[in-house]
Amino acid sequence: MRVPPMFWYRVVMSRLLEQREVVAFVKAALECSVYVSPLDPGLTDEELHEVARRAGLQEGEVRDAIGEAAAQRYWGDKRLMPESTGLWGQFNSPEQPDYRNIAAFDFVARELQAVSRSQGVGGARLDRAVVVERAVANQIPKTDVEAAITIWVIDRHLQDENGVLRFAPGRERYPLPSEQRGAVGRGPIRANVHRQRAFPLVKDVVERRADGRLASAEPLDAFADALDSLGYGPFRLWWKQTVAELRHADPSVSPVTVTVLAAALVEGALTFVVRHARQLGVGVLGSKDFDRPTTSWKIEDLVSSAAAGQESAILDNGARLRADELVRARQRIHAGRMLSDFPQGAPDLRPEEARAAKATAELVVRRVLDWLTRYPVTQ
C-alpha cells in the first residue's frame, strides 16, 4: 500500500519539533548556569548530560542538540558556554520565569553612563569589582549583579578587559532595561518551560562542584567517582561502560541482558567496598569468605554480608530482599543452576522483572554511597 506523502511530512515535522525542544532545553540549561554561577558559568559535557538525563532526555539526542544550541567552547575550556544571541540582555520580550534582576542591569548601566558623561564614552571604564560592591551597598544581591555583567559580556553589550568594564561601541545609548520593560506594556508573557525545568537541575549540579557531594545525583553515575577514593580508579571505564550498556538495553526486548548487567553492577559495587569495610572492622562485609581470592567471591555472599553488622550494615532488610531476588533472576545465566532450580525448564523472564532488576541495582548502589558517606575513606 502506498503511503501518502503527507504522512511522511507529518512524521518528519514531528521529529523536527521534538529535536527543537531538546535544543531549547540545552540552551536553557547553559543559560541557567550563568544565573547560578555567574563567575564560573557553563557546563561540562558530563554536567550537561546529567542535567538532561534527570529531565528525561536521552544522551544521543542531547549530543545531537549541542551543535544546534548556540553553545560554544573556548580553547582549552572543558565547559560549554551559552553563545551570544544579541537578545539575552534585552528586556522587550517578557518571559516567565525570568531569573534576571532588572535592578541589577539598570545599576550597571547607570554606573557606566555616569562615567561616560564625566569622562566621555572613550574613557568610560569601571573596575568590575567596584561596580559589584557598589551594587551590594545598594541592596542588590551580589549574584544578581555578577549575572547581569556576565550576561551583558556574553551578549557583547559590555566588554570586560581583565576585570575592567566598558560599553561595547554604540551600546551606551541603549535604553535601560527597566525602560525597555516599561515600553512593552501589559502584553502576554510567554512561559519558558525549558528554563523552568532546567534551573533547579542546573543549580543542583553546579552546587555539587564544591559542597562535598558526589558530582552526580544518579547513583550509578556517582559511584564512578567513588571508585577513585576507594582506590579502584582504573575500573571507572568498566563501570561506566556497564552502566551505559544497562541504560541502552530495552527491558521489553532484552530482559535477560538488563537483569545480568544490573546484577553485575550490584556485585561490582559491593566488591569494591569490601577492602574498605574490612579495614574499618565495623562488622559489615566481615565474612571470612572474603579472606580468599576475589575469584572465589559470590554475589549471594556479598549481599548477605552487606546486610550484616547491625548499625554498620550497608543493606537494610528490604534492600537485601530485593537484592536476593535479583540474584535469583540472574542465576539463569548458569545452566547448572537452572537444572537444579528449574528441572522442568526456567520460566520466562518478563520485562517488568527486568525493570525491577534495574531499579534494584540503583537502590543497592545508592545504599553503598550512603554507607560511604557514613564511613568515608580517609586518605
Same domain, 292 and 226: yes
Q: Which amino acid is located at 3 in the chain?
A: V
Q: Which of 22, 54, 82 is the last residue of a domain?
A: 82
Same domain, 148 and 289: no
Residue 346: phi, psi to the nearest 5? -70, 140
- Taking the model in full, what pTM does it have? 0.66
Same domain, 78 and 153: no
Q: What single string gives the DSSP state of each residue in 58-85?
A: -HHHHHHHHTTTTEE--TT--EEEEPP-
Residue with cell 540545552: 26
The reported pLDDT for the residue numbered 296 is 92
Integer Rg of the chain from CA? 27
Asked if residue 93 is part of any domain, the answer here is: no
Cα–Cα dist 242/269, whole Å: 12
The reported pLDDT for the residue numbered 330 is 85
The reported pLDDT for the residue numbered 108 is 95
Asked if residue 62 is part of any domain, the answer here is: yes
Domain interval for residue 105 = 99-191
Asked if residue 269 is part of any domain, the answer here is: yes
Same domain, 177 and 281: no
The reported pLDDT for the residue numbered 332 is 77
Asked if residue 363 is part of any domain, the answer here is: yes
The reported pLDDT for the residue numbered 379 is 63
CA angle 320, 350, 367 (to 5 degrees): 25
User: Comparing C-alpha atoms, which of 379, 361, 371 is closest to residue 283?
Assistant: 371
CATH number of the domain bearing residue 167: 1.10.10
Same domain, 246 and 328: yes
Same domain, 29 and 118: no
**Pairing between β-strand 79-82 and β-strand 43-44 as defined by DSSP bridges:** antiparallel
Cα–Cα dist 228/11, whole Å: 46
Same domain, 338 and 272: yes
Same domain, 266 and 157: no
Answer whether 131's CB lies under 8 Å from 113's CB: no
Characterise 212 by phi-psi region: left (phi > 0), alpha (psi -120 to 50), beta (else). Answer: left
Asked if residue 91 is part of any domain, the answer here is: no
Asked if residue 198 is part of any domain, the answer here is: no
Answer whether 164's CB lies under 8 Å from 92's CB: no
Asked if residue 208 is part of any domain, the answer here is: no
Same domain, 274 and 335: yes
Q: Other C-beta atoms within 10 Å of 113: how many? A: 17
Same domain, 222 and 165: no
Asked if residue 90 is part of any domain, the answer here is: no
Answer whether 17's CB lies under 8 Å from 134's CB: no
Kindly give the confidence (pLDDT) of every residue in the chain, 379 residues in length, as a single tens digit, with 9 standing for 90 and above: 555 555 444 544 445 456 788 888 999 999 999 999 999 899 988 889 889 888 888 878 888 877 765 566 665 567 888 887 778 888 888 889 999 999 999 999 999 998 888 888 777 888 898 899 999 999 999 999 999 999 999 999 999 988 889 998 888 888 899 998 877 666 678 889 999 999 999 999 898 887 666 666 788 988 988 999 999 999 999 998 999 899 888 888 889 999 999 999 999 999 999 999 999 988 899 888 899 999 999 999 999 999 998 889 999 998 999 999 999 888 877 777 777 777 777 767 788 888 899 999 999 999 999 999 899 988 6
Same domain, 182 and 265: no
Which residues have CB under 8 Å from 223's CB, separation 6+?
239, 269, 365, 368, 369
C-alpha cell at 84: 551570544
Number of independent structural domains in the chain: 3
CA distances (Å), 21 to each of 62, 96, 365, in order? Answer: 10, 17, 32
The reported pLDDT for the residue numbered 12 is 45
Same domain, 108 and 76: no
